[in-house]
Structure 1
Amino acid sequence: MNCSKTEQLRKYLVGELSSDEARLMEQHVEACLCCQRQMVDEDKSGEDYSSLRVPSTLPIDFTAQVMMALETVRTPTPKSNWKKRSVTILKKTALAVASVTAIITFGSMVSPTFASYVNSVIQSIQGIDTGMKQAAEKGYAQAINKSETDQGITLNVKEVVADPVRMAIFAQVVDQNGKRIPFEPSKIEVNLTYKTKSGEELNPDGGGFSYGEEGEYLVISHDIFQFLKESKTQLDEMVVGVDATMLDGKEGNWKMEFPVDLKKARAAANETTIGKDFMTPHGIKVALQNIKTVPSVSLIELETTWTEERAKQVQKIKEENGWVVKEDVEDVPGVWTDAKLVERYFIDIGLAYEIVDEKGKVVAGWDDSIYGNKLNQIRKNTVAPYRGQLHDEGKRYTKFNGISPLADDQTYTFKLHSLYLGEPAKFQATIPVDKLMKEKVTVTNNDSVYTFTGFTLKTTEGEEKIGDHTYSGKGAIIPFTAVLPEGIIGNEVWSAQDDAKQDYRLLMEETFKRDKDGRVHVSGTFFIRDLEKQPKELSLKHLMQWRQYQGMNWEVPFKTSSKR
């Protein structure tokens, strides 16, 4: 899925927005996972946002392990002020790579009135969103069937599935012969508006939705609870506007409005207030606040809060490692210190948990770690949305996780599976490249064991497949395997330096598995961007690692409401 505000985010980063527009953009990024993810990617890469691109051969699969793809991009000279601007957003979003979870998209679901559509689309999509499927099959989908034609292209809005938490619009884009035009993110620009029947704007800041292709359909998805909760009244109906200004790369005007009924879905909603909390041994309070169930999703609200003890621990680590942020240095264009690079890894706190029924059967599982799906294998029946809001300069974070709707009037138990925290690592490896060209080189450092198995120089700028992966731009490729320290599930903030003390950005493609003893094994490649000549030695290092704490022993029984 792609957020509607991606282009606006690019303008923010390169300083093309007014102060008012920039303020609105910052507010949007605080709540939009797509833009937060793009912001984290940009921060990690250290590149000029306007030039970012992912080769077409790399997967963009947000229903699997997001951000695991090697993002191979060219490195131009950064704009003078984008780094400073990115700091503002990153302070607010504070999303580390390990907490950016898989997004399960809405999928393509419709009401029973479109039986052939249901049969052909729902059955054909892998990883279908079971929550939205249930909502559609129970009659919470609404036929729209409105069309607009311009430039020989027709936009057909077929149907909407909506409730007080989220909405999905199912549409098709066809040419003058009625042939479907495949979705390409760079060739479409769409905007959504929301109003009450009396004309009051419901989402005046705009944006926040995403769009992508599911089967034969263009699906525009929006977590509407974020602005509906600001409404002064409980809405029975809202007027949705779809305004497309570019389709299939052609500029034009495809604009329509239609009413969306919320009364039936709102009447079926209920909220289970829980309000239980748990203090971890690490000075972090985890609170299970409430669970709101609507036809398409049960929305779990959790909160993590630092205690003073945790704040002191983090400050001590920063001081010991020289990672205290100095704002006067960070404001200098082009300066991106280790202190700023590692800051968000302390702020972010990841959780993994399961929900079981009275018979002990796991009905849902959530894991914040992108590595977790392979390592813990507890993700189950997760659906959109995943949203969060940062408070108190990163010391308190509200998480909204979506799972398939829980049954009414039933007893369940919330079980905390794992806590993820970032910590300093200080791993270093010096590799004699001549030796690496002939044989494997194994380095043991900081309880990690890395085995490097080759060295290849890519001398062309274009895309080229080398081994199992496709790379863009010049650089050096080093395949590796690794065994991580006990309890560690991933390493972050990598860099490389040659024997001339020249620093390089290091990109990675990794896969993970856990052995019988619980240690994590990694295999993948390093891509050292812009390294064009073979050095005598290469030094690799990373500054941070993610530690998984299991056995939290926190369980919360709760009973869902029987209102629906």
Structure 2
Amino acid sequence: MNCLKFDQFMKYLYNDVTKDEAILFHAHLERCTTCRSQLEMYQMETALLDTLSYCPPLPESFASNVMAAIEGKKPLHWKTNNDERTQSRFHFDMAGHENEFTQPLQHWTVPDSELGIERPVETRQQRKRRAQQSRRKRIKIVALASTTMFIAASMLGAYMSPTFAAYVKSLFLFYKSHEGTKQAAQQGHALPIDMKVTDKGYTLIVKEALLDPLQLSIAFRLHYNGKPVSTELVMKHALWSDPPPGSDKLVPPINTFELLDESNKPIQQTQLSWSQHHLDTVLQLPIHSSLDKGAVKALNEIPDKVYIKFNVNQIGDTNGMWHVKVPIDIQKAKAASNWMMLDKSHLSPLGLDISLLQLRHGPSRSELFLHTSNTEVWAKRLKDMKAEQRQDIMLDWYGLFYQIKDQQGNIVAAWDGMSQGQMQLGHKNIVREAFFGSGGYEQHSYLPFGNKQHLIFELKSIYTNEPLQLALKLHSNAARTTTEPLTVVHEGTTIRVKPIKQQGKQDITTVKLVNGSGTYKGEGFILEMDMTHPLGTALYSAWTITDEKGTPLEYTEDLAPKRAADGSYHIRKWFFFEGMKKLPQQMILKPKVKVRSHTVDWSTPLPSKP
């Protein structure tokens, strides 16, 4: 595979690409892990450069002082190549002005007309080419400088000067992560480690940990014969594998990571998660999970000291032993945390009992722990719906939409429990990788808001699934290249289906979504529809599409929702039938599920202190 060139990365980072170039750039990144890592490295370098390149603003008197100095001096004459030219050279009296100049004045340029020089007139293309070459040269210098600074910051450690080390407080400031992580690192909750273990030419280096009683994050990297290599060589053996032939048992991972207390007993945790940052891996390990039978602990029950044990037994295709036990003291992080028990509940008319159990604030995040349970009213509702429908859909699913507001009514956190990610329009300040749910218990994590006072919890609505009986029939033209438009009104929902559009092998179509865009490449057909739902209906989902004979048609789909001020939804939806050369005579579209949004009016204050 031909990897992307330096100039292509720089054009992308400086928004100097066309729409088609951006599409091709993203398409290559989807296939190439090397270029994804390279892009992330350049992004980290840019962040570092932004941090280090800050220059205080000039004083208001700067320009007037410079002009006063210029007017008081005469030009100096000198000869070069037998031509007499004029070069202005100044020597200021800096007394009393030392703090008004951020750097010494190095040189002045004089217009060519004053020097009697005639330059050939450049064409527009020549000027553009010269500007591009100059910009690329500057970018390369900046990239080289920032790369050097980043390597110095992350590898030299104690050999950095105190001034430079003050800028580079933590690797977590430059990893691509949420603002809560960066805030905790800035506040001194990052712990340098630099523990190493070497075997078979590979050196595993545990670099740094970010401390929070809600979750520990620990970064490590890998070297082979002294050169950095990707930690994916370790993590690909940290997954459960499919059962071998003749067995129904999953194969446990070869490489494991344990969280231990001071007596070397494993600390219960939900599941290991991790993220890649260039060549590094950051492990996320919850110290305490309340999902195990709803066990709720006070902050003082969390141990002051824990250990993270790396049990790495295979790197790539090489077997060996890379075991290291890392001590972690979290007393400082505990002192900066605030966990509060809650005893608040609401019984909805649907028969769902919603209980708020605990509010937790840590250095890197805030977390709400809650529980929902079903009553006889809910069970009867499900029984009645299942008797009416024949299709296997998740009628017992539900989702919550709530907001946490401050005294001024500002939303500091919000959870939108819609089943599809693109429909979660109400999310506010969530930490996406930190949602856990099991047995009616849920932990929702947010950017830290522990400094807010007089908070109010407001439950806005509950989402549920209901069976839907609807069939849309589209008729193709004689050439089987498009379909007739169709408008249908069903239970207050207006559906407008546009004529289907055919796409060639070289064609690329991009549609704008709520988060990013959807791209359809190559031969096929694109079907677009608009749906305007009445208040109380959020979505038609679980679509099946068949031809006139009932044969299922394969497709990919995207949607772009909008929610009006009154809470009603308008949705654009696209179906892409990749590789289809000719349309069937008929296409029958059937959504099986209607997602309802039931308005709820329950609010309760949340404590600021235990």
TM range (shorter): 0.5 to 0.7
Q: Counterpart of 2:326?
A: 258
Asked whether 1:406 is paired with 2:449, we answer yes
- 1:449 correspondence with 2:495: yes
Q: Deviations over 1:83-128 (max 9, x none)?
A: xxxxxxxxxxxxxxxxxxxxxxxxxxx9999644447752674xx4
TM-score, with normalisation over the residues of structure 2? Answer: 0.60
TM superposition shift of 1:137: 2.8
The Cα shift of 1:161 comes to 1.5
> For the aligned residues, what is the CA RMSD?
4.0
Deviations 1:492-539 (A, max 9, x none): 222122122223454322222235775433334324589776421121
* Counterpart AA for 1:168: S
* Larger Rg over CA atoms: 2
Find out whether 1:558 has 2:606 as its counterpart. yes
Q: Does 1:467 align with 2:530?
A: no
Conservation of the 8 A alpha-carbon contact between 1:420 and 1:547: yes
Q: What is residue 357 of structure 1 aligned with on the other side? A: 406
2:30 aligns with 57
Distance 1:216 1:155 in 2: 12
What's the counterpart of residue 379 of structure 1?
428
Q: CA deviation at 1:247?
A: 4.6
Which whole-Å CA distance do the structure 2 matches of 1:372 and 1:489 have between them?
Answer: 13
State which of 212, 233, 243 in structure 1 corresponds to 2:311. 243
Give the aligned residue type for 2:260. K
1:367 is matched with: 416
The change in CA–CA distance for 1:268 and 1:318 in structure 2 (over 3 A counts) is same
C-alpha spacing 1:114/1:388, structure 2 compared with 1 (3 Å): farther
Name the amino acid aligned to 1:444.
V
**Does the 8 Å contact 1:495/1:505 carry over to 2?**
no
Q: Whole-Å Cα distance in 2 between the matches of residues 454 and 373 of structure 1? A: 23
Q: Which has the higher strand share?
A: 1
Residue pairs, 1:478-493, within 5 angstroms: 478-486=526-534, 487-493=536-542
**1:140, CA displacement in angstroms?**
2.5
Q: Measured at CA, do residues 174 and 547 of structure 1 come closer, stay the same or move farther in structure 2, by a change above 3 Å?
A: farther
CA distance in 2, matches of 1:151, 1:452: 62
Deviation at 1:317, TM superposition (A): 0.9
| Percentage of matched positions with identical amino acids | 22
**Counterpart of 2:366?**
298
CA contact (8 A) 2:312 2:323 kept: yes
TM-fit CA distance, 1:269: 3.7
- Within 2, Cα distance between the matches of 1:249 and 1:532? 44
Task: Give me the whole-angstrom Cα distance separating, in 2, the residues matched to 1:529 and 1:151.
Answer: 47
Which secondary structure state, in structure 2, belongs to the residue aligned with residue 318 of structure 1?
helix
Deviates more, 1:310-319 or 1:231-240: 231-240
User: Does 1:308 pair with 2:376?
Assistant: yes
Cα distance in 2 between the residues matched to 1:296 and 1:503: 47
**1:221 counterpart = 2:284:** yes
Structure 2 Cα separation of the partners of residues 560 and 186 of structure 1: 40
Deviation at 1:209, TM superposition (A): 0.9
1:208 aligned residue: 271
Task: Specify the alignment match of 1:196 in structure 2.
Answer: 261
Shift of 1:545: 2.1
Normalising by structure 1, what TM-score? 0.65
Q: CA deviation at 1:488?
A: 2.9
Alpha-carbon distance change, 499 to 371 in structure 1, aligned in 2, over 3 angstroms = closer
Q: Figure out how many residues of one structure are paired with residues of the other and give that number.
A: 425
SS at match of 2:227: coil
| Separation (CA, whole Å) in 2 of partners of 1:427 and 1:293 | 47
Structure 2 distance, partners of 1:289, 1:302, is 5
Larger deviation, residues 434-443 vs 422-431: 434-443
Q: SS at the partner of 1:417?
A: strand
**Separation in 2 of the partners of 1:509 and 1:265?**
42
Partner of 2:481: 437
**Cα pair 1:496 1:528 within 8 Å, conserved:** no
Residue 222 of structure 2 is matched in structure 1 by 173
> Residues 366 and 230 of structure 1: is their aligned pair in 2 closer, same or farther, counting only changes over 3 Å?
closer
Name the CA shift for 1:423/1:285 in 2 (closer, same or farther; >3 Å): same
Closer/same/farther in 2, CA of residues 516 and 432 from structure 1, 3 Å limit: farther
Q: Which amino acid aligns with 2:173?
A: I
| Counterpart among 422, 425, 449 of residue 465 in structure 2 | 422
Higher RCO (Cα < 8 Å, 6 or more apart): 1
Structure 2 CA distance for partners of 1:372 and 1:496, relative to 1, 3 Å: closer
